[in-house]
Structure 1
Amino acid sequence: MNYTEQVEKYLEYCEFRKELDWNTLKAYRIDLRQFFEYTMEDIPGKEKIEDYITELHKKFKQKTIKRKIASVKAYYNFLEEREIISDNPFRKIKVGFKESIILPRIIPREEIEELLNFMYAQENKSNVKVHKFWLRDIAVIETLFATGARVYEISNIREDSVNLNTGLIRLMGKGGKERYIQIASSEILDLLKNYYKENAKEIKQSGFFFVNNRGCRYTEQSIRLMLKKYTKLAGIERNITPHMFRHSFATYLIEEGVDISCVQQILGHSSIKTTQIYIHVAAKKQAEILRESHPRNRMNILKFVA
């Protein structure tokens, strides 16, 4: 059996037996295609794999390298479990390396305020069609910031996943993991109710809560382009992406003193290590701690006179 047939069997196993989500399957498919395009063998051995890993280090950032190696390693584990190979070359390959910490980019509070105020100022009730789409856009941005959800989670919210009476939303995260999050603001809940009222027909037909101009799912890319448009119109120079709302949401919650384990649960992180990175960027809280608790405060040191 050649590698193409074997990879398809593996991806089928991942989809139906492991129940991995579409995004994970897409990443696996891309990673394995690149691996076999480089090695040009049905079952590459240790030497070829080592060469490929070296090539990855030349081309990609550490986080991407780590994912691509993990994809190939998982595939070889599958081959070993199915007894297609008797000797797994990954048992003799050291793939560990020190991963540099890249701090998440956040949106300054004043720019979030500036963007939302600009969007609210664009409301035009005289044109029914324009008003429907405006309601959708402001509802999407408010939901991104209110929940800290990933853009694909927002895009894939189903109609029956939103309870407009209680404000409870069911999100489907990485690996098909389900979680619930509360819309705590009555203003945002009222906005979502108005959006639903104006778009009810299209929402019911598509099954998705956020719909585009054609009544279909409002895709991740459409959300990115919409945000880019409003950011530019608002005169904000920063390149704001949907994921930056997630980073900002987490960082500002931690700055306000919310326990990190609560933030982990809200974000849907499987490991608290992923959430801990937001501690590094919670500058306001850091400054407050140093201002109030630094040992110099209790020392008798002569004052500097300017």
Structure 2
Amino acid sequence: MKLSTNDLSRYLRQYEVYLSVERNLSHKSIKAYLSDLNRLVLWLNANEMNDLTGNNLRMYLEHLTSEQTLKDSTIKRKYICFKAFFNYLVQNGDIEESPIYGYGKKFKTARRIPKTLSVNEIEKLLNAPQEHMAHLHTIFRKRINLRNAAIIELLYVIGIRIGELVNIDLDHIDLEERTVLIFGKGRKERLLYISSEEVIQKIKSWLEAREHFRPQSQALFLNKYGQRLSIYSIEDIFSKYRDLAKVSKTSTPHYLRHSFATHLLNNGADLRSVQEILGHTNVSTTQIYTEVSVERKKDVLSRFNPRNNLKV
């Protein structure tokens, strides 16, 4: 199979539309796919290869493996991206056979245990906005603080991703029923229940303050211009209260999701239920949190088991 780089660029534009319209992927996911594929095109051009063949695609993958300081997990992601793209071209009738067919390299990816905050750290973090309120002297800053308190609470109480949080609209949340409709990866819907009355009250306090931001959007959480908050704003908000609470300086908003899942399992929740709440397609993705739970139990038993101190 031979595919000119000009044809390849044209197919990439078609593929972008397919990912957006047919697959309904997020802008972030589409950007990641196209970035990997465009880097392949750049490499072909830089090496004066006018056509893509199975041989030079394998050369590129070997180049990534041997000459780049990339993790196996990153190379595996690129491989999966290429495989999906060329399978799309085959199914579309643009090419007869995928150039990646027969490439048999095995990728070893280490399973990283999710990093979490302790229950004590979570308490400090959730209390930080209230403690900070006493130091605020303008109504505007107090309203911002109410918004931030609701954001941090919601991230932890239902364990959502920050991308899911910023996409919540007013009509997605029902405070009477205590439910919030979440659109996950691939726009998959899941309805979650807010079990804490304190969180409900903090959201209500924010909704009262929200009206003063002259809303330009139906988004639940707004910036000072009345527009939808970005994920970068959420990261900044988390960093601010993380530092005020004096919890782990390396923690990110995603730690709240990891902590939520781990604490659910520690408290006896079953794996399948946690999978559904988190919106994981495969239970194996959720299963890694059981390792955190087991490690915590090992730590507690090693340090506090009374049998350890008995002289028998």
- Provide the residue aligned with 2:199 in structure 1: 188
Q: Which residue of structure 1 lines up, in the alignment, with residue 3 of structure 2?
A: none
Q: Is the contact between residue 159 and residue 203 of structure 1 (CA under 8 Å) also seen in structure 2?
A: no
Query: Does the alignment pair 1:90 with 2:100?
Result: yes
SS of equivalent to 1:60:
coil
Residue 131 (structure 1) aligned with residue 138 (structure 2): no
Give how far 1:204 is off: 4.9
1:81 equivalent in structure 2: 91
Greater shift, 239-248 or 39-48, is seen at 39-48
Establish whether residue 65 from structure 1 lines up as the match of residue 75 from structure 2.
yes
- For 2:109, give the aligned amino acid: E
Task: Work out which of the residue numbers 102, 112, 116 in structure 1 matches 2:122.
Answer: 112
Is 1:277 aligned to 2:288, yes or no?
yes
In the alignment, the residues of structure 2 paired with residue 148 and residue 201 of structure 1 have an alpha-carbon distance, to the nearest angstrom, of 28
Inter-partner Cα distance in structure 2 for 1:150 and 1:289: 32
Shift, 1:32, TM fit: 1.1
Q: Is the 8 A contact 1:212 1:218 kept in 2?
A: yes
AA of the residue aligned to 1:98 = K
Give 1:63 deviation, angstroms.
Answer: 2.7
Kindly report which structure 2 residues correspond to 1:192-271, keeping only aligned pairs within 5 A, or say none.
192-200=203-211, 202=213, 204-271=215-282
Partners of 2:58 and 2:100 within 8 A in 1: no
Residue 294 of structure 1 corresponds to: none
**Structure 1 stretch displaced more, 36-45 or 157-166:** 36-45
Aligned to 1:304: 311
Deviations 1:137-167 (A, max 9, x none): 1110010000110110011111110112121
Q: Which of 178, 181, 200 does residue 189 from structure 2 map onto?
A: 178
User: 1:31 deviation in Å?
Assistant: 1.3
SS, match of residue 122 in structure 1? helix
Shift of 1:97: 1.9
Indicate how the Cα distance of structure 1 residues 144 and 281 shifts in structure 2: closer, same or farther if over 3 A, else same. Answer: same
Partner of 1:13: 18
Please give the alpha-carbon distance, in whole angstroms, between the structure 1 residues aligned to 2:168 and 2:196. 19
Query: For structure 2, which runs of at least 5 residues remain unmatched after alignment?
Result: 1-5
TM normalised by structure 1 equals 0.89
Q: Which residue pairs with 2:160 in the alignment? A: 149
Matched to 1:169, the amino acid is V
- Deviation string 1:279-302 (CA, Å, 9 cap, x unpaired) is 1111344567999xxxxx9xxxxx
Deviations 1:4-52 (A, max 9, x none): 2220011112211222222221111111111211223565212222222
Question: Could you give the per-residue CA deviations for residues 43-78 of structure 1, whole angstroms, max 9, x where no partner exists?
Answer: 521222222222333332233222221111111111
Contact between 1:3 and 1:42, CA under 8 Å: does it hold in 2? Answer: no
Gaps of 5+ in 1: 292-296, 298-302
* 2:82–2:100 contact (8 Å) kept in structure 1: no
Q: Are the structure 2 counterparts of residues 42 and 289 from structure 1 closer, same or farther at C-alpha, using a change threshold of 3 Å?
A: farther
Partner of 2:62: 54
Kept in 2: contact 1:203–1:211 (CA 8 A)? no
CA distance in 1, matches of 2:311, 2:51: 72
SS in 1 for 2:190: strand
Which deviates the most, 197-206 or 213-222?
197-206
Match of 1:36 among 35, 41, 47: 41
TM-score (norm 2): 0.87
Question: Cα 1:286–1:269, aligned 2, differ >3 Å: closer, same or farther?
Answer: farther
Q: Which has the larger displacement, 72-81 or 111-120?
A: 111-120
Change (3 A) 1:201 1:127: closer
Partner letter of residue 226 of structure 2? G
